[in-house]
């Protein structure tokens, strides 16, 4: 008997790789580069009622998930730029649950899909331009009370792409959409 999948973590919780070399970074960048198209395909043809369906009891709707990805990845892109241009900056956290309740998280998903596509294109160019020394740079996340290296942040956001995509695709599969 296989254990039940926790709907909050359909691909499991993030586990930092033991080592992150150039091959792993290239794979993570490829995930980020492809993610926007995968999100667009995952929500294509969904009705407003389907977009407004939570992926789990007490969870965000598909619409909120798509907007959250744009918000979260926008913050991460900026965190990368801060870490590349400042000496171990302390980043500004944000209340993602509160952001998901703001009016722009109820609008059509097209704007966030376009934003994510454009931002991921820029992010991929930035990521590919980075050196080993750049990936060793870090920022301080005050909520976690520790420094986060950019190579680990890259791994986190590659995981984040699949994490929320699975929220959408699993819901679609379970509902037969």
Nearest alpha-carbon partner for 81 in 150, 132, 32? 150
Cβ(7)–Cβ(55) below 8 Å: yes
In this predicted structure, the answer to whether residue 31 has a pLDDT above a threshold of 80 is yes
Q: Which CATH number fits domain 23-175: 1.10.150.120, 1.20.120.450, 1.10.10.10, 3.40.50.1360?
A: 1.20.120.450
pLDDT at 80 over 80: yes
Mean per-residue pLDDT, 59-85: 98
Q: What is the pLDDT of residue 2?
A: 61
| Residue 28: other Cβ atoms inside 10 A | 22
* pLDDT of residue 46 exceeding 80: yes
Report whether pLDDT(64) > 90. Answer: yes
pLDDT at 3: 65
Helix (H, G, I), strand (E, B) or coil at 138: strand
Ordered by start, the domain boundaries in the chain are 23-175
> Mean pLDDT across the stretch 155-170?
98
């Amino acid at each position: 008997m296989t254990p039940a999948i926790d709907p909050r973590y359909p691909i499991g919780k993030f586990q930092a790789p033991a080592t992150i070399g150039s091959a792993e970074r290239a794979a993570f960048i490829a995930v980020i580069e492809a993610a926007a198209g995968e999100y667009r395909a995952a929500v294509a043809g969904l009705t407003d009622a389907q977009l407004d369906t939570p992926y789990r009891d007490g969870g965000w709707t598909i619409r909120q998930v798509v907007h959250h990805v744009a918000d979260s990845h926008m913050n991460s892109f900026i965190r990368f730029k801060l870490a590349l241009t400042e000496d171990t900056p302390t980043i500004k956290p944000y209340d993602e649950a509160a952001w998901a309740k703001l009016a722009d998280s109820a609008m059509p998903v097209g704007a966030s899909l376009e934003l994510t596509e454009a931002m991921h294109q820029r992010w991929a160019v930035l990521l590919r331009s980075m050196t080993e020394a750049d990936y060793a740079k870090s920022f301080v996340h005050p909520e976690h009370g520790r420094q986060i290296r950019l190579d680990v942040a890259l791994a986190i956001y590659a995981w984040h792409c699949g994490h929320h995509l699975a929220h959408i695709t699993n819901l679609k599969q379970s509902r037969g959409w």
